[in-house]
């Protein structure tokens, strides 16, 4: 079955959980891989350490000759892990949705997506409809990401795994995150002073084709905070913007 056919037979179910970013991209990777993610590290004079994982993620998204919507990053002591870095374009929250086949069971989801939007105060579900209904031709190919365990972390990339709890050793950190992955999803990841900067999801194990897309409204992300969060007003139908990244189980895995 083609990706286009699969999309036409699916309905996206939106989660109540969101993932927040204080500015900067999100990381998507397997839970066991996230255990080795170092996040953002600064020197004593608060300069970003160019060897840290967050710096490498930023460099992957912003190579010298381009600015990308999404990119892959290798990390770990021997670069044994892979993650997807997705640009949020500023501070905000990403919504999560699963593609469910019509009349299919909950464990038959063969795609999921992350979407962040800019909408006026009188909110609209148009960004959800746009992201869920986009065709293959409307999206940009990024590559493939292996999620073989089916246990996935979506987190603000500046957050290191060690910040999500009190861990005496790397082994304890890995064991604690693995235990979280066994809980009924979605499971929120928090820092001591900030909630909702990550979540643990369950997806169908396999290799996922990654694509991304966007919609630029008349003003959308360029609205003032007063317009977005102030008293409701009347706006044109196109006064919203959104961007999304979609993960679709590859055909070769589906047929296996």
Output the six-digit token pair for 14.
Answer: 């939106």
Determine the Cα–Cα distance for residues 114 and 244; give it in Å rounded to an integer: 5
What order of strands is seen across the sheet that includes strand 10-21?
A: 10-21, 92-101, 111-118, 241-249, 206-215, 140-147
Looking at residue 254, its pLDDT comes to 43
Looking at residue 65, its pLDDT comes to 78
Cα separation values, 30 from 23, 68, 81, 202, 224, Å: 22, 22, 9, 10, 36
CB distance 245 to 113 below 8 Å? yes
Determine the Cα–Cα distance for residues 63 and 38; give it in Å rounded to an integer: 21
Give the single-character DSSP code of 49: P
Q: Which of 193, 163, 212 is nearest to 34 (CA)?
A: 163
Instruction: Tell me the HSE value of 105 on the side-chain side, using a 13 A CA sphere.
Output: 3
Q: Give the three-class secondary structure for 236.
A: coil
Determine the Cα–Cα distance for residues 255 and 251; give it in Å rounded to an integer: 6
Q: What residue segments make up the domains of the chain, in order of their start?
A: 3-255
Instruction: Tell me the HSE value of 4 on the side-chain side, using a 13 A CA sphere.
Output: 5
Element (H, E) at 201: strand 198-202
CB distance 62 to 56 below 8 Å? no
Cα separation values, 176 from 35, 36, 88, 172, 179, Å: 9, 13, 28, 6, 5
- Whether the predicted model's global pTM rises above the 0.85 cut: yes
Give the single-character DSSP code of 115: E
Looking at residue 98, its pLDDT comes to 95
pLDDT in tens, the chain (256 residues): 455 555 655 789 999 999 999 999 999 999 999 999 999 999 998 899 999 999 999 999 999 878 999 999 999 999 999 999 999 999 999 999 999 765 554 556 799 999 999 887 667 889 999 999 999 999 999 999 999 999 999 999 999 999 999 999 999 999 999 999 999 989 999 988 889 999 999 999 999 999 999 998 876 566 666 666 666 555 555 678 999 999 999 864 444 3
């Amino acid at each position: 079955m083609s990706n286009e056919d699969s999309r036409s037979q699916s309905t996206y179910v939106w989660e109540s959980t969101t993932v927040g970013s204080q500015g900067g991209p999100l990381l998507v990777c397997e839970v066991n891989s996230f255990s080795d993610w170092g996040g953002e590290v600064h020197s004593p004079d608060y300069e970003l350490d160019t060897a840290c994982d967050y710096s490498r993620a930023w460099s992957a998204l912003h190579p010298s000759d381009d600015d990308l919507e999404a990119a892959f990053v290798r990390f770990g002591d021997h670069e044994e892990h892979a993650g997807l870095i997705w640009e949020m374009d500023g501070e905000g929250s990403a919504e999560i949705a699963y593609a469910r086949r019509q009349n299919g069971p909950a464990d038959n989801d063969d795609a999921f997506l992350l979407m962040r939007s800019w909408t006026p105060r009188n909110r609209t579900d148009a960004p959800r409809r746009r992201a869920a209904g986009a065709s293959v031709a409307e999206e940009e190919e990024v590559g493939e990401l292996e999620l073989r365990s089916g246990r996935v972390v979506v987190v603000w990339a500046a957050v290191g795994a060690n910040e999500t709890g009190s861990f005496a050793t790397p082994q304890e950190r890995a064991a604690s995150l693995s235990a979280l992955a066994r809980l009924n999803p979605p499971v929120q990841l928090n820092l001591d002073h900030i909630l909702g900067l990550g979540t643990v999801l369950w997806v169908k194990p396999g290799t996922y084709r990654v694509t991304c897309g966007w919609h630029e409204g008349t003003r959308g992300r360029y609205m003032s905070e007063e317009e977005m969060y102030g008293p409701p007003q009347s706006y044109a139908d196109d006064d919203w913007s959104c961007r999304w990244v979609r993960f679709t189980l590859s055909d070769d895995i589906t047929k296996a």
